[in-house]
Structure 1
Amino acid sequence: MNVAIIGAGINGLMSALELSEQGIEVHIYDQQQAGREASWAGGGILSPMYPWRYPQPVNALAKHAKALYTEWNQKLLPTTGIDFQIQQTGMLIFDQKDFDIGLNYANTHQEPMQICQHLTQKDIQKLNPKVSKQFQEALFFPELSNVRNPRLLQSLINYLKHQSNVTFHENIKISKFCIQDSYVTGIEDEQKVIYSHDHTIITTGAWSANWSAQLNLQIPVYPIQGQMVLFKTPKNWLTTMCMNEVMYLIPRKDGHIVCGSSMKDIGFDKALCMHTQQNILNACFEMIPELQKFPIIKQWTGLRPSSPTGIPYIGTYPQLSNLWLNTGHFRNGLCMGAASARLLRQLILKQPCIEDPTPYQPSQLVSMTKHF
């Protein structure tokens, strides 16, 4: 069996990893360099932010993130020499309106990773003395971790390029499916070159709706821009992740701190906005006032693949037996990515599934077309 994967973000790369480790021949196509879009641009929190705000199928996949990425890091590191830098910093959440539901969430949904404790100001200062003293209370989630997603992507790409059964086709834009009798017989690039594969997987993220017209069924996935800011502080300067009103700070091992993130529905526009940047900075300085002393190293934007509910589409495409989807993860592409890829692999190879695949089935696209 050989498989084509269109799109080399986290979901495409993880799908390639899962399949190639099963001995499948994998061909990865991307219209630019692999791993350069939303997967690289995100923060890398290995949990949905405020999981109680998301449908349970999102959390069902995300709960596997830390264990699966830890497992893959151990396997890939000897080959790549690139550590994902998974760091269990825990997270402080200051949104008081979420305290009651947050405190009960772990027990209600049997998710030990989401266990938390209510802290007073004295507790907060002991745990993370950089937090503003204006915050009298917080929830602390000690089991939450983050992964350095650029390093994760670099490791995946490096490892996959070492595999004899994996071929990268970068800077090649696939523009058309060749379809005959409910079967994809090939994929065609802009130069009219046709590539034939037994199965094809769409992992094109925010660009996935572009296939709708050709496939005669709307794929309701569209871009939502998120903007980020990166600071550089001394090593181990900030001891925990912090979040308030959907804005977060994520400390890295070397002292970099990732701050974000905005949400703007402006199509495929990736331009930086000074007003948005100031909103992010104001929120972060409110949580950690001393951060103002340190330099901004970088700013960027990414395009999240938004779907109507945030639940991704994972499974075979309606009416096309060898075309598969793994897209529409919205803000949780990285934390769902490892389990999404494993579920897809299990569906393709008819193996027992890591989670019930029903909530993710693309067959629901038929009824959702009118809402696109």
Structure 2
Amino acid sequence: MHIAIIGAGINGFMTALELIEQGCSVTILDQQQAGKAASWAGGGILSPMYPWRYPQAVNDLAKYAKPLYQNWNDKLKPITGIDFEIHETGMLIFDEEDFEVGYHYAEQHQEPLQEALYVEQEQIEQINPQVSTSFKHALYFPQIANVRNPRLLQSISCYLKQHPQVTWLEHAPVRQIKISDDQIAAVQTQQGDWIEADQFVFTTGAWSAQWSDQLKLDIPVRPVQGQMVLFKTPEHWLPTMCMNRVMYLIPRQDGHIVCGSSMREVGFDTTPATEIRQKILDACFEMVPELADFPIVQEWAGLRPGSPKGIPYIGQLPQLKNGWANFGHFRNGLCMAPASALLLRQLMFGQPTLIDPQAYTAKQLQHLTALTH
């Protein structure tokens, strides 16, 4: 079976991995260089921030992130020579209003990786001596990890590009979808090339609404900008991730520290804003004051695929026999991606699913003709 995957971010990558494991041949198309949009720009925390604030459907996928990425890293690293750098730092959360619900979350939802410990200042100092002494207590989640998403994307890209079942078309925006008898016959790139396939999967993230008219669907996915700042410190200088008021610090193994993040609706603009940068820095220096002594080495912004409740659309598109969705992951695309792709593969092949797919069904995308009556 030949499958065209439109969109080469982390969800397109993971979908491709799952499908070639089933013996499929895959053509991957992207409007720019693969893996360079939101998937590259995110922080890489392998858990939703404050999972108790999200619908259960988000957490049902996200809880598989760490073990599935570990499995894929074990498989790909010997071939690509690139480690995902899954960094088991744990996380300190300082939001007092979340202490009670966060402390009980793991037990209530049978998610042992979300086990939390209530710690006071003396323990905080032992866990992470860089934290400001103004924080008298915290919740500590020792098993939460982060993945270095640029390296994750590099490794998967390297693996897929050398794979005999994979064809790549980068810088090839899809402009037209040819539909005949309730099936997608082909898609046409901006360069005029027609790509035929047996099945078509849309993994186009923040750009997914562009298909609304051609697919005759109401696709409520919009770009939501998130801004980041990157510091460079000595290796192991910051032992854990830290989070307070939705701002976070994420240490990488080599001493880089990713700081973020914001939410702004400014269309497809990825220009960092000075005032947002200052808000991020203020929040991060409040948590870890001595971070101000180290250089900022990079700043950027990415576009999250905002969906109504942050729950992605995964499954067969309405009224199309061979069209499939895997988009709308909002703030948790990286940590939902491995399970999203696995679920999509199971649905495509009629296999038993790892979770009930009903919450993600793309059938809930309304048909545009129905909306006019």
* Corresponding letter in the other structure for 2:345: R
Instruction: Measure how far apart 1:192 and its partner are.
Output: 2.9
Moved over 3 A (4+): 367-370
**1:171 — aligned with what?**
171
User: What is the correspondence of 1:46-195 to structure 2 with a 5 Å cutoff?
Assistant: 46-195=46-195
How big is each residue's C-alpha offset from its partner over 1:225-273, in whole Å with a ceiling of 9 and x where there is no partner? 0000000000000000000000000000000000000000111011110
Query: Structure 1: 5+ residue runs without aligned partners?
Result: none
Distance 1:65 1:274 in 2: 33
CA contact (8 A) 2:216 2:367 kept: no
CA contact (8 A) 2:223 2:304 kept: yes
Instruction: Measure how far apart 1:366 and its partner are.
Output: 1.7
* Corresponding letter in the other structure for 1:92: L
Pairwise CA RMSD of aligned residues? Answer: 1.1
Distance 2:245 2:98 in 1: 10
Instruction: Measure how far apart 1:367 and its partner are.
Output: 8.4
How big is each residue's C-alpha offset from its partner over 1:95-134, in whole Å with a ceiling of 9 and x where there is no partner? 0000010011111111101110101111101110100000
**2:29 — aligned with what?**
29
Distance 2:70 2:313 in 1: 25
**2:292 — aligned with what?**
292
**2:362 — aligned with what?**
362
CA contact (8 A) 2:217 2:367 kept: no
What is the DSSP-based 3-state SS (H/G/I as helix, E as strand, rest coil) of the residue aligned with 2:366? helix
CA contact (8 A) 2:125 2:131 kept: yes
Identical aligned residues as a percent: 60
Give the number of equivalent residue pairs: 370
Distance 1:209 1:120 in 2: 47
With the length of structure 2 as denominator, give the TM-score of the two structures.
0.98
Distance 2:367 2:329 in 1: 19
* Corresponding letter in the other structure for 1:203: T
Query: Structure 2: 5+ residue runs without aligned partners?
Result: none
**1:4 — aligned with what?**
4
**2:307 — aligned with what?**
307
What is the DSSP-based 3-state SS (H/G/I as helix, E as strand, rest coil) of the residue aligned with 2:365? helix
With the length of structure 1 as denominator, give the TM-score of the two structures.
0.98
* Corresponding letter in the other structure for 1:137: H
**1:274 — aligned with what?**
274
**1:331 — aligned with what?**
331
What is the DSSP-based 3-state SS (H/G/I as helix, E as strand, rest coil) of the residue aligned with 2:227? strand
* Corresponding letter in the other structure for 1:192: G
